Amino acid sequence: MSFLKIESLEFKYPKGPTILSIPHLSLEEGQGLFLYGPSGHGKSTLLNLIAGVLAVTSGEISIGETKLHQLSAGKKDKWRGDNLGYVFQQFNLIPYLSIFENIMLPCQFSKERKLKTSDKEIHELIERMNLSSFIHRPVKDLSIGQQQRVALCRALVGKPKLLLADEPTSALDEKNTTELMNLLKEERAKNQLTTIFVSHDLRLKPYFDIHHSLVDLNQSKLSDSKMEAQNV
Amino acid sequence: MFNFITLRSLKNRAFTSLLCILSIALSVMLYLGIQRVRKGAEDGFTHTISQTDFIVGAKGGALNLLLYSVFHLGSPVNNVRMSSYEEIKNLPGVKWTIPMSLGDSYKGFRVVGTDQNFFEHYRFRKDKKVELIEGQIPNGVFDVVIGAEVAKRLKHKVGDDIVLTHGIQSEGLYHHEKTPFKIVGILKNTETPIDKSVYVTLHGMEAMHIGWETGVPSDESIDPNRYLPENLEIKQITSFMVGLKNRIAILKLRRFIDQYEAEPLMAIIPALTLQEMWQTLSYVEKVLTLVGLAVLLVGFLTIIIALYTSINERRKEMSIFRSLGAHPWQIFGLILYESFLLVFFGIILGVIFLYGFMVGLKPILEAEFSLFLEITALSKDEWSFILLLLVIAPLIGFIPGFRAYKNSLRDGLS
Ligand SMILES: Nc1ncnc2c1ncn2[C@@H]1O[C@H](COP(=O)(O)OP(=O)(O)O)[C@@H](O)[C@H]1O
Ligand SMILES: [Mg+2]
């Protein structure tokens, strides 16, 4: 029984052409999927679908026991808050909150997340991310590498079941990238955390068990001819 | 759960937040302040006289009788015979009466001839008595007691001799030079027309007019014996106030006076006539209330505009909240809560302003406008007004909140 299962997924934005058409994709619990492909091909869109922010045009997405395509918008929001960690290319920290408050945000929106964790665990996590000495500082005092570590830390608070990462290293230099990837690897191993990691940086492949190119997965004609034409 | 996010977010936009809070505070202060001034003016007006059941005078206009008897404005058309006064005074239901004899002045202030009943029974502002800060009430024929304002403006002291003027024009032609009066007392400030009046006995009133039968002073000298109280005969007064033993007798007694046979008299109930008079002034009250509400509306609009413009800058922030599991409804709620907090802090500041200004302006209002504002705790009406604002407060977040809600549905995560 796979943890994440996508069947006959079709998606288009309102008024737009079909962007994604994925017949089948599955992932076991604890596995890490590395998803790559050139920009504009719908990688972020796919993550948005898996996060339940966008709704599939047709097809099915199930994660664990949850059939995401059957949930109402409100239930999807709750499910996302309870089960999902999300890291972005931009770090998406709230500038007027302190580092600690940023890290604790998921617990503000999800009671379940709050209950699943303890102060001790959170402080250990912060310790492992090398952020202990910054937690009461404003976001703007941090370097870029530190900011992305805060974002990762926030995504991991409260033990999410699934981590989605959308090009989290593309703003980082090599040293910071390596540091972040190693931290991520440790945390994943520790918690058996199922992960989907999107990037166009193929050097990161070795950190993950499964590798897919979205261009191969996607049967949408758009991904071949039209998009290619657009990008040239 | 929004608590710390909202507070931080408002603090992050401190300048606009402060402007919003300030505009609500000013509106609240103005609205409540206007209401208090209005209430103070009404109370000051309707409480000029209390506990008096009737004012009786010659038949004429009710308003006119009230104006000359209580506010010392205008003049009577006719007098009341002493015999009529004595008869009504001795009716079984009557508890007390205060006779008043008007028509003279002193440097623009009205002279009132009365007796000790005035000092004993007259009440204003519910149960306040006329009191002396110095000296005693007039007893001798040429004793005079002056109101607080008179004493202050003319810098008179107990023991001063003064000469009263015939008639009520501020520049009267004839003065009662042969009959100077001695100030025996100064009244305590009352914030009523009493402060601008001068009180003598009915005997004094009679005495100074001896030899004035033609309306002008005669040149002949007057036998000093005629000034002795036992030789002075009081034939008429201008009007009088009546207090009853039992209010139930009001209608019966009023009918008796209105149909009095010996001469045409009328009785007015001052509380009612004052209320009627205030009603005719009520458009002022309405205008003031409207001004207060308009200011409040501006305050609310400020918040709507400020929040609405902030929504666009905060699109990113909202989409981050969504990625962390916030419902679009929670985003909506966040904005509603912000507007609630802005109004909430605005109200608190506004009430502080209100009391600050009341403490600061009290002496000026009393001195310049005779407006007596008691610094009291918030009244029930004021609490309901504040409660109403707190209910409206989140509602004004609806427009910007809905905008944020729609944005957050449209924007994915990125
Ligand atoms: N909100 C949107 N509305 C309409 N079209 C969109 C929206 N977001 C992305 N797209 C389009 O969908 C396609 C895939 O975009 P995206 O998923 O961001 O690709 P990637 O993440 O691989 O760069 C692009 O052609 C983009 O223009
Ligand atoms: Mg993308």
C-alpha distance from residue A25 to each of A6, A35, A56, A86, A128 (Å): 5, 12, 15, 20, 33
Residues of B in contact with A80 (CB under 8 A): 323, 325
pLDDT (mean) for B316-336: 83
Among the atoms of ligand 1, which is closest to the Cα of residue A166? 21
- The bound ligand whose nearest atom lies closest to the alpha carbon of A213 is 1
Distance between CA A29 and CA A151 in Å, rounded? 23
Among the atoms of ligand 1, which is closest to the Cα of residue A214? 22
pLDDT digits (tens, 9 = 90+) for A187-213: 999 889 999 999 989 999 999 999 999
pLDDT at res. B168: 77
The protein residue whose alpha carbon is closest to atom 21 in ligand 1 is: A44
Residues of B in contact with A99 (CB under 8 A): none
Among the atoms of ligand 1, which is closest to the Cα of residue A38? 22
Q: What is the largest CA-CA distance in chain A?
A: 53
Counting every residue written for chain A, the total comes to 232
pLDDT digits (tens, 9 = 90+) for B138-153: 999 999 999 999 999 9
Cβ distance B325 to A54 less than 8 Å, yes or no, reads: no
User: Hey, which of A22, A44, A215, A222 would you mutate to test ligand 1's pocket, going by the most ligand atoms within 8 Å of its Cβ?
Assistant: A44
Residue with tokens 């009671």: A111
User: Hey, which of A13, A22, A89 would you mutate to test ligand 1's pocket, going by the most ligand atoms within 8 Å of its Cβ?
Assistant: A13
Are B369 and B261 contained in the same domain?
no
Which residue of B10, B11, B323 is the best one to mutate when testing the A interface, meaning the one whose CB has the most A CBs within 10 A?
A: B323
Are B172 and B321 contained in the same domain?
no
Where do the structural domains in chain A lie, given as residue ranges?
A: 4-230
The CATH-assigned architecture of domain A4-230 is 3-Layer(aba) Sandwich (3.40)
The answer, yes or no, to whether residue A224 has pLDDT greater than 60, is no
A199 lines ligand 1 (CB under 6 A): no
pLDDT at res. B131: 94
Residues of B in contact with A106 (CB under 8 A): 324-325
Domain that holds residue B219: 54-268
Distance between CA A141 and CA B127 in Å, rounded? 68
pLDDT digits (tens, 9 = 90+) for B171-217: 657 888 889 999 999 999 988 899 999 999 999 999 988 888 777 77
A14 lines ligand 1 (CB under 6 A): no
A13 lines ligand 1 (CB under 6 A): yes
Are B12 and B161 contained in the same domain?
no
A64 lines ligand 1 (CB under 6 A): no
Are B178 and B221 contained in the same domain?
yes
The answer, yes or no, to whether residue A45 has pLDDT greater than 80, is yes
pLDDT (mean) for B34-59: 87
pLDDT at res. B75: 84
Are B252 and B287 contained in the same domain?
no
Q: Which of B233, B268, B303 is the last residue of a domain?
A: B268
Cβ distance B324 to A54 less than 8 Å, yes or no, reads: no
A42 lines ligand 1 (CB under 6 A): yes
Are B37 and B68 contained in the same domain?
no
Are B257 and B288 contained in the same domain?
no
pLDDT at res. B321: 85
Q: Which of A48, A80, A88 is closest, CB to CB, to B325?
A: A80
Cβ distance B413 to A48 less than 8 Å, yes or no, reads: yes
Whether residue B273 lies inside any domain: the answer is: no
pLDDT digits (tens, 9 = 90+) for A46-102: 998 998 888 899 999 999 889 988 888 888 888 888 999 989 888 788 888 989 999
Whether residue B119 lies inside any domain: the answer is: yes
- What residues 76-135 of chain A have any CB closer than 8 A to a CB of chain B? 77-78, 80-82, 84, 86, 88-90, 92-97, 101, 105-106, 108-110, 113
pLDDT (mean) for B219-246: 88
Q: What is the pLDDT confidence band of residue A3, given thresholds at 50, 70 and 90?
A: very high
Q: Which of A77, A95, A108 is closest, CB to CB, to B5?
A: A108
CA distance B381 to chain A (A): 38
Are B292 and B333 contained in the same domain?
yes
Distance between CA B110 and CA B166 in Å, rounded? 10
Q: Which of B268, B299, B317 is the last residue of a domain?
A: B268
Q: How far is the CA of A201 from the centre of ligand 2 (A)?
A: 13
- What residues contact B304, with CB distance under 8 A and at least 6 apart? B339, B396, B399, B400
pLDDT at res. A35: 95
Count of A-B CB contacts under 8 Å: 74
pLDDT at res. B2: 59
Residue with tokens 């003049």: B75
pLDDT at res. A206: 93
For B13, which residue in chain A has the nearest alpha carbon?
A96
Whether residue B257 lies inside any domain: the answer is: yes
Whether residue B275 lies inside any domain: the answer is: no
- The bound ligand whose nearest atom lies closest to the alpha carbon of A42 is 1
Cβ distance B325 to A48 less than 8 Å, yes or no, reads: no
Q: Which of B212, B234, B268 is the last residue of a domain?
A: B268
Are B396 and B293 contained in the same domain?
yes
Q: Which of B320, B327, B328 is closest, CB to CB, to A94?
A: B320
Residue with tokens 């962390």: B324
- What residues contact B353, with CB distance under 8 A and at least 6 apart? B25, B26, B28, B29
pLDDT at res. B306: 85
Q: What is the CA radius of gyration of chain A?
A: 18
Cross-strand pairs, A18: A12
Are B305 and B403 contained in the same domain?
yes
Whether residue B8 lies inside any domain: the answer is: yes
Contact A223, A215 (CB under 8 A): yes
A25 lines ligand 1 (CB under 6 A): no
Q: What is the pLDDT confidence band of residue B370, given thresholds at 50, 70 and 90?
A: low
DSSP B7-74: HHHHHHTHHHHHHHHHHHHHHHHHHHHHHHHHHHHHHHHHTSSBS--EEEEESS-HHHHHIIIII--S
Which residue of A13, A15, A94 is the best one to mutate when testing the B interface, meaning the one whose CB has the most B CBs within 10 A?
A: A94
Whether residue B276 lies inside any domain: the answer is: no
Cβ distance A78 to B12 less than 8 Å, yes or no, reads: no
- What residues contact B342, with CB distance under 8 A and at least 6 apart? B10, B17, B20, B21, B24, B303, B393
Q: What is the pLDDT confidence band of residue B395, given thresholds at 50, 70 and 90?
A: confident
Q: What is the pLDDT confidence band of residue A231, given thresholds at 50, 70 and 90?
A: very low
Whether residue B274 lies inside any domain: the answer is: no
Q: What is the pLDDT confidence band of residue B364, given thresholds at 50, 70 and 90?
A: confident
Write down the mean pLDDT value for chain B: 88
A137: its two tokens? 């500082």
Q: Which of A84, A96, A113 is closest, CB to CB, to B9?
A: A96
Q: Within 13 A of B73's CA, how many CA atoms are on the CB side?
A: 7
Distance between CA A189 and CA A204 in Å, rounded? 17
Please give the residue that has the higher pLDDT: either B44 or A82. A82
ipTM over 0.85: no
Whether residue B218 lies inside any domain: the answer is: yes
Q: How far is the CA of A40 from the centre of ligand 2 (A)?
A: 7
The answer, yes or no, to whether residue B236 has pLDDT greater than 80, is yes
pLDDT at res. B287: 86
DSSP A17-46: -EEEEEEEEEE-TT-EEEEE--TTSSHHHH
Distance between CA B88 and CA B203 in Å, rounded? 20
Total tally of structural domains belonging to chain B: 2
B412 lines ligand 1 (CB under 6 A): yes
pLDDT digits (tens, 9 = 90+) for B83-138: 999 999 999 999 999 999 998 999 989 999 999 999 999 999 888 999 999 999 99
Are B149 and B176 contained in the same domain?
yes
B272: its two tokens? 């009612």
Are B190 and B106 contained in the same domain?
yes
The protein residue whose alpha carbon is closest to atom 18 in ligand 1 is: A44
